[in-house]
A and B are shown apart, each in its own frame.
Chain A
């Protein structure tokens, strides 16, 4: 379970200041097996992290393949979000998404670098309402 802090606005400010954005993380998968994880387990962590992004997709699209998820996210960005993002910003975000999903990383550390880049590019869009 991922638990976000009550005040994401603070996280957004931190992101704007190029400092670390902290999210409270409460999880119970693999929580007691943080070290000495096998390669397969670390690969599962990567899959889990990527699966988190699927929650943003419309409910009616059953997507199981990472490539499909990547395409769907890009398509969404090219659709309604084109009203919000200018072309350059959208291209930057899309490039980082493609890079993220194309990454051969199979460890948390390997994926984190790409995820951090994407997070930084999306930090301005963290909502103030939370």
Chain B
């Protein structure tokens, strides 16, 4: 809109200066028009940014709304959520299109400006040319007038000369008459005084004088007549010369004026040309800017589409496994089947096999953490002699034929006649490696860590082990898991399923990254990668899955680099584990050899220690947006809109001091110490209505107060729109799923049965009169829709 307005201003600008007499001449008008057009072009370019930003903001808002709808609805209606997600995707696609449209509008404005400027400059040049022609014609006219005036002026000059001569003759005649008269008088005087003879002579002289005087009078008369005739002729000549002289004067004046005008228009033409050049430059700049913006918009769209595709692939990578309550059997991909059949690894587009740099880069990054003393301790792991030590367990495992090795179940191991299983070896190894690293190792090793993201609420992944950033191994989750480990019972299982599962852990971590940061932010976010490990207790594969951008192509893609299989143990154990060898495909040994061992420490063991010790940033993005909550107040729960209760005392520590312990379908849970009491904060991500907030849950806690097993609510935080967004609860316990790994079946069953009994007890107590909250029909319908029990908010799914 703004760009279009600027273009219109550019087109109408030439008319504006015409109101001023000073600038009414065509050249000046044209120059003013051009300058106005340039200004309009600059304004258009500036407005284009605003338009693009406005379009981007609108698209972002639309995306936020759609994403909000998708996320909010996913616990009430998955189809609606999917539809909303699709709408969000469509909305996001329009963002680069809006930018491109804005850029096109800017270019159109600049183009219109340039056209107007060119037209104005052409007009100026035409005017200058006309003026020059007029000046030349005036000069010719002036020359003709001068030529025409030459003859009359000559005649005037001749007549003037003749008049002068005639006048001179008259004067001479008058003088002659006077002289003759004086002579006659003197003669008469003399006659009176002289004799007769003399008188005769004098009489003759007197007659002669009279004759001379008469002749002089005649001459006078003649001269007088000649003088009068000359005067007449002069007057006539002057009269005849006057138009030519006037024409000459007029022509000269016109020629002078035309020349001045021509000079003026010539200058105006130069101004117009300069302005046209400026307008052209501005148009070219706008065009260049449009091209750049078009390219940027196209790039952004291509990147977004690519990232969307990557997200779909990540989702597919996490959902291709059918959901099974309590577990997840892994499907083999065609590639995995090929591998399990002993074939060479194919050349996949997104999985790079036998990539030694995955390990060498890791070892190099952790080199400063693995000082000589720690390397000695790491080497010492291989010399342990205790029966429960990792190396002795590994030796024991290697002694079991690989087809009879057991993955995780002690009773099955016992049935196979062995007291060792792959998980046991790995647990011992991980513990000893962690201990050898001293203070370079932080956190702990979790077993059976559920990697759960609200982006895929129905499909949690359970990592066999994980190095997590928490003091309690049961607190592992997708956010705090540094390295995820999948352990299989032998090489065949490792290739058939283990690597695929390890990659899935990375996929899920990246998917959660997409979920919490948003696809748009993935462009600029650093650390779009994740590390995992697949192992059979003998070999170790290191996997690095990353989302990578190819800026020139606007392409985004997912790539998993897999290290060659690296030995965890000395050569004798490796040989005993697989006497006939197993790393049979071409090039794998060379790739493995590229990962050098250090002073007797096998490459796999060194790489594992490096994974545990390396800086967290090396392992990928760890940012978790903290909830922005208003202050917590004592919940009134009396049906009012809330938020008006008394502030809890003491106040809650800031969110930066909270530790995330899980993410659920619509809420996140954080561990927080408050009033010397371990508590949790359960925060609804996007509350939209009372029923889509924590209100129903808080109401239930309120009604069930005093029922054994029901948490106590200490406070609540309300959103700006009046919805209950967060609850402060105690006591803090252990999530059921996190409590079970590592326990015997009987222990697990005992816990699960008691938990189920507790749930039933609460329900019975509530329906026996403790709780009487009523719910609206919509809530009843949703509950009847089959979602009951299928959701959880804190990393469950229980």
Binding site for B on A (CB under 8 A): 1-6, 8, 11, 15, 20-38, 40-41, 44-45, 47-64, 73, 76-77, 79-81, 83-85, 108-109, 111-112, 115-116, 118-119, 122-127, 129-130
Asked if residues A81 and B703 are in contact (CB atoms below 8 Å), the reply is no
B792: contacting residue among A28, A49, A122, CB under 8 A: A28
Please, could you name 24 A-B residue pairs with CB atoms under 8 Å apart, sorted by A?
A: A24-B710, A24-B711, A24-B733, A25-B710, A25-B758, A28-B664, A29-B789, A32-B691, A32-B699, A32-B779, A33-B779, A33-B780, A47-B789, A52-B759, A53-B752, A56-B749, A58-B409, A62-B324, A63-B324, A79-B411, A115-B756, A122-B749, A122-B750, A126-B754
Q: Within 8 Å CB of B745, what residues of A?
A: 56, 76-77, 80-81
How does the 8 Å CB contact mask read for B339-377 relative to A, with 1 for contact and 0 for none?
Answer: 000000000000000000000000000000000000000
Asked whether A29 and B791 contact (CB < 8 A) given A55-B798, A56-B749, A57-B326, the answer is yes
Asked if residues B796 and A119 are in contact (CB atoms below 8 Å), the reply is no
Asked if residues B757 and A31 are in contact (CB atoms below 8 Å), the reply is no
Asked if residues B798 and A52 are in contact (CB atoms below 8 Å), the reply is yes
Q: Chain A's nearest CB lies how many Å from the CB of B420?
A: 15
Binding site for A on B (CB under 8 A): 322, 324-329, 409-412, 414-415, 462, 662, 664, 667, 678, 691, 695-697, 699-700, 703-704, 708-711, 729, 731-737, 739-740, 743-764, 766-768, 770-775, 779-780, 783-784, 786-796, 798
Asked if residues A1 and B749 are in contact (CB atoms below 8 Å), the reply is no
Q: Within 8 Å CB of A130, what residues of B?
A: 734, 739, 751
Asked if residues A26 and B411 are in contact (CB atoms below 8 Å), the reply is no
Q: How far is the CA of A129 from the CA of B469 in the complex (A)?
A: 21
Asked if residues B794 and A59 are in contact (CB atoms below 8 Å), the reply is no
Q: Which of A15, A25, A29, A50 has most B Cβ within 10 Å?
A: A25
Asked if residues B794 and A5 are in contact (CB atoms below 8 Å), the reply is no
Asked if residues B764 and A109 are in contact (CB atoms below 8 Å), the reply is yes
A4: contacting residue among B710, B734, B775, CB under 8 A: B734
Asked if residues A5 and B733 are in contact (CB atoms below 8 Å), the reply is yes
Q: Chain A's nearest CB lies how many Å from the CB of B670?
A: 14
B709: contacting residue among A24, A64, A109, CB under 8 A: A24
Q: How far is the CA of A16 from the CA of B700 in the complex (A)?
A: 31
Asked whether A108 and B767 contact (CB < 8 A) given A56-B745, A62-B327, A130-B739, the answer is yes
Give the residue name and chain of the A residue nearest to B765 (CB): A34
Asked if residues A34 and B753 are in contact (CB atoms below 8 Å), the reply is no
Q: Chain B's nearest CB lies how many Å from the CB of A86?
A: 12
Q: Within 8 Å CB of A6, what residues of B?
A: 678, 731-734
Q: Within 8 Å CB of A59, what residues of B?
A: 324, 326-329, 462
Asked if residues B774 and A81 are in contact (CB atoms below 8 Å), the reply is no
Q: Within 8 Å CB of B792, what residues of A?
A: 1, 27-29
A38: contacting residue among B750, B758, B784, B791, CB under 8 A: B784
Asked if residues A125 and B788 are in contact (CB atoms below 8 Å), the reply is no
Asked if residues A112 and B784 are in contact (CB atoms below 8 Å), the reply is no
Asked whether A126 and B324 contact (CB < 8 A) given A20-B708, A48-B759, the answer is no
Q: Chain B's nearest CB lies how many Å from the CB of A83?
A: 7
A1: contacting residue among B746, B753, B784, B795, CB under 8 A: B795
Q: Within 8 Å CB of A109, what residues of B?
A: 760, 764, 767-768
A41: contacting residue among B662, B696, B749, B783, CB under 8 A: B783
Asked if residues A25 and B709 are in contact (CB atoms below 8 Å), the reply is yes
Asked whether A45 and B709 contact (CB < 8 A) given A32-B779, A62-B327, the answer is no
Asked whether A62 and B322 contact (CB < 8 A) given A1-B798, A48-B759, the answer is yes
Q: Within 8 Å CB of A62, what residues of B?
A: 322, 324, 327, 329
Asked whether A123 and B411 contact (CB < 8 A) given A4-B739, A35-B771, A59-B327, the answer is no
Q: How far is the CA of A45 from the CA of B786 in the complex (A)?
A: 11
Give the residue name and chain of the B residue nearest to A27 (CB): B759
Q: Which of B691, B697, B763, B796 has most A Cβ within 10 Å?
A: B763
Q: Within 8 Å CB of A5, what residues of B?
A: 731, 733-734
Asked if residues B760 and A45 are in contact (CB atoms below 8 Å), the reply is yes
Q: How far is the CA of A60 from the CA of B409 in the complex (A)?
A: 12
Q: Within 8 Å CB of B696, what residues of A?
A: 31-33
Give the residue name and chain of the B residue nearest to A34 (CB): B766
Q: Chain A's nearest CB lies how many Å from the CB of B327?
A: 3
Give the residue name and chain of the A residue nearest to B762 (CB): A25
Q: A1-B796, A28-B793, A81-B411 are in contact. List 13 more A-B contacts (CB 8 A).
A: A3-B732, A6-B734, A25-B709, A25-B711, A32-B691, A35-B767, A52-B798, A80-B744, A115-B756, A119-B750, A122-B749, A125-B750, A126-B747
